[in-house]
Chain A
Amino acid sequence: MADTPLLEVKNASKAFGAVQALYKVDFEVLPGEVMALVGDNGAGKSTLIKGIAGIYPFDQGEVLVEGETVHIHGPRDAARLGIEIVYQDLSLADNLDVVANMFLGRERLLGGVVLDESSMERSAGETLESLSVTTLKSVRQAVAGLSGGQRQSVAVAKAVMWNSRVVILDEPTAALGVAQTRQVLNLVRTLAEKGLAVVIVTHNLHDVFEVAERITVLRLGQRVAQFEREKTTQQEVVHAITAGKLDHVPGMEAGAPAAVAEAEAEAGAEVEA
């Protein structure tokens, strides 16, 4: 594993009105690594990945890709830098087939006009095969007819198709059964083995301990802990999620107990967008 993080976020803060959704958060992921991002509802997980994606840019802080500062102002910038985000089941159009979904918005054309279906179909098939996604009957099948795990696999394959280097998966197993979850977690491992940096955002600690090398815990908009899987236990992570020590209190660096409680109450009101 290389030592320069593929993606690094330094000192990121973001406020929505009076609510401090993120406060001085550091986050990083190395190439070939699966980093889990965990935390309770309202901990700031979504805010962090949306900031990386450029959907809500951070108020403060910087994002570095391979050690260089970058400016991301929207999903297209993120894609250009090789950062792809797979949202919970929201990135597929049911009525289109697998190929059409994987190339949606980036269709290949013949002569600048006609869709180059055979070239797209081949690349889609190759990408799926390279990810060992072998349960699809046909890449010309409409996504509506796929199982939850297959859908998630297609969404991931769609993301990695574009020479992406960082793949962020938002709750990839939230709605899946046991076999389907297995399938997606295998896929996550495959991505990391290919040298990609993988971030998996989840509530499910079982999944975390199955695939992740490291675990970042957010609580009330701050990073309260970072663990290596080998050297920690589920209890320890759960404790950090529910009662991790907050280093900073927005607007009051001293961190008096009363101010902490107040900040907690305030940050707890955050709604995960």
Chain B
Amino acid sequence: MSSDPTAAPIGPVPGGARVDERHESATLPGYVRLWWQGVKAGELGTLPIIFGLVLIVLTFSILDDKFLTERNFTNLLLQMAAVATIAIGVVFVLLIGEIDLSVAFVSAVGAVVMTLLLRPDDPGWPWWAAVGVALLVTTTIGLAQALVITKAGVPSFVVTLAGLLIWSGVVLILTTQYSTAGTIRIQDDRVVGIANDFLPEFWGWVLAIVVVVAYAAIQLRTAIARRSRGLAGKPTVLIVLQTLGLALVTLAAVWYLNQDRGVPQVIVILGVFLLFWSFIASRTRFGRHVYAVGGSAEAARRAGIDVDRVRIAVFMISGFMAGAGGIMLASRLRSVATNTGGGNLLLLVIAAAVIGGTSLFGGVGRVIAALLGALVIASIQNGMDLMGLASGTKFVITGLVLLGAVLIDAFAKRRRAARGGV
């Protein structure tokens, strides 16, 4: 190989693995084995959360027989939707290793702006214009905060903490100025319908079937395209098993929801958001850069990525999703009030993102974490409400669950670091 006598022959280092393992993932046992190796190395993915969710559902269904009823399942989804929506934006912020403490009150600003624009004859805007402007406002808030963070170099923690105070003040000012009792009702049927309408039974089924078929088609197409290029594709057996699993869960959920009022419209909206942002995060160049900035901002910068632009875009996403979630919340309550965005909304949203498996250290997590985390939070809240626990107890338990999730994250990070050591 080399004419140079001092150069040793090139080959695997003692103890190095064989090349053949590259194609190991093409068979089912091989795929499972590699996945398990990843888990042991700290790539936990959604494993702890799904385990936790099953545990929570089992616990509450034993403790309270109302927990698993159709009605309660529907309510649980309705409670969860807005939290999950806002948490999607928070997942992006956590992915770049930053934090956004302003989301709850930014969501409230969105809700209040929309509600004010909708007031009959004053100015009585159509629903789409009011919603559009509200989202524009919250996205702009995200932009403004991001500009301070990136251009002035102030940590996002401080900037968004200031934002938390500012936007809570703005909500208070607007709601007290435009109402006498501190509550402004939403009278537009379309907007109220966002969180209070349900799909007819038939369309619920159609939706479930479309989701399952589309999932199978995308998975198969990717695997076939990879194999045709000589790369290891996901084993077909696994795709079939996963599709069956998804079909089972989706069809059972739709059947159950149809026993009550049907599939909530807000869940369809949430589903669209989840699909869209998952696509952005995992399949586009921007998404790749988001992960890179979170993993190592220095490496990203050296690779020619405009790190500040990625940061700004991410905070705008956070603002936009906060606005969307705020509108869902307002729609569900059919009003906004002086305390909109207050309470424990912020904590629930950030807890949802973290419990769902998004690392606080940046660079690790998926958009679906927002949904899984929100499901856990909503299940716990809902279950404890059914059992009639005192507020104090509920806070303590929710806090313990969050602590557990953070500990799992820290533990997994240590495992990853141990493997990554020289």
Contact = CB atoms under 8 A, between A and B. Distances in A.
Genuine A/B complex: yes
Contact of A118 (B8, B14, B226, B305): B226
A145 B420 contact: yes
Interface in B298-338: 298-300, 302-305
A142 B416 CA distance: 10
A268 interface: no
Which of A96, A138, A144, A210 neighbours the largest number of chain B CB atoms within 10 Å of its CB? Answer: A144
A183 B12 CA distance: 8
Contacts of A109: 285
Contact of A138 (B14, B22, B363, B364): B22
Given A139-B22, A144-B420, A91 B299 contact: yes
A211 interface: yes
Contacts of A190: 1, 10
Contacts of A96: 288, 291-292, 295, 363
B7 interface: yes
A137 B416 contact: no
A125 B11 CA distance: 16
Given A95-B295, A137-B21, A145 B41 contact: yes
B13 A179 contact: yes
Given A95-B295, A125-B22, A189 B283 contact: no
Given A95-B291, A113-B284, A135 B13 contact: yes
B71 interface: no
Nearest to A193: B2
Interface string A15-54: 0000000000000000000000000000000000000000
Given A105-B305, A186-B7, A180 B13 contact: yes
Contact of B285 (A107, A146, A182): A107
A137 B17 contact: yes
A211 B7 contact: yes
B389 interface: no
B292 A144 contact: no
B288 A104 contact: yes
Nearest to A176: B422
B422 A115 contact: no
A144 B305 contact: no
B417 interface: yes
A104 B292 contact: yes
A146 B417 CA distance: 10
A195 to B, nearest CB: 14
A119 interface: yes
B158 to A, nearest CB: 25
Contacts of A113: 284
Contacts of B219: none
Contacts of B392: none
Size band of the interface chain A makes with B? 35 or more
B6 interface: yes
Nearest to A177: B422
B98 to A, nearest CB: 15
Contacts of B416: 94, 142, 144-145
B12 A93 contact: no
Given A75-B302, A115-B284, A142 B43 contact: yes
Nearest to B20: A137
Interface in B20-70: 21-22, 24-25, 34, 41, 43
A90 B303 CA distance: 10
B225 interface: yes
A94 B362 CA distance: 11
Nearest to A144: B420
Interface in B344-364: 362-364
Contacts of A94: 295-296, 363, 416, 420
Nearest to A135: B16
B396 interface: no
B288 A107 contact: yes
Nearest to A190: B10
Given A135-B16, A138-B21, A121 B6 contact: no
B121 interface: no
B231 to A, nearest CB: 5
Interface in A124-152: 125, 132, 134-140, 142-149
Contacts of B305: 104-105
B422 A147 contact: yes
B19 interface: yes
A31 to B, nearest CB: 16
B32 to A, nearest CB: 15
B294 interface: yes
A175 interface: yes
Contacts of B294: 95
Contact of B12 (A114, A135, A148): A135
Interface in B270-300: 283-285, 288-289, 291-292, 294-296, 298-300
B361 to A, nearest CB: 9
B422 A138 contact: no
A234 to B, nearest CB: 13
Interface in A71-101: 75-76, 79, 87, 90-96, 100-101
Contacts of B298: 90
A105 B359 CA distance: 23
A134 B295 contact: no
Contacts of A101: 299
A213 to B, nearest CB: 9
B419 interface: yes
B122 interface: no
A122 B230 contact: yes
A54 B288 CA distance: 26
Nearest to B416: A144
22 contacts: A90-B296, A90-B302, A93-B291, A93-B295, A94-B363, A95-B363, A96-B363, A104-B299, A104-B300, A105-B303, A106-B304, A107-B288, A114-B283, A118-B225, A135-B12, A135-B17, A138-B34, A140-B25, A143-B420, A145-B416, A145-B420, A189-B4
Given A105-B303, A148-B422, 20 more contacts: A75-B302, A90-B299, A93-B300, A94-B296, A95-B291, A100-B288, A104-B288, A104-B300, A109-B285, A115-B284, A118-B225, A118-B226, A125-B22, A135-B16, A135-B17, A138-B21, A144-B420, A186-B7, A186-B8, A189-B2
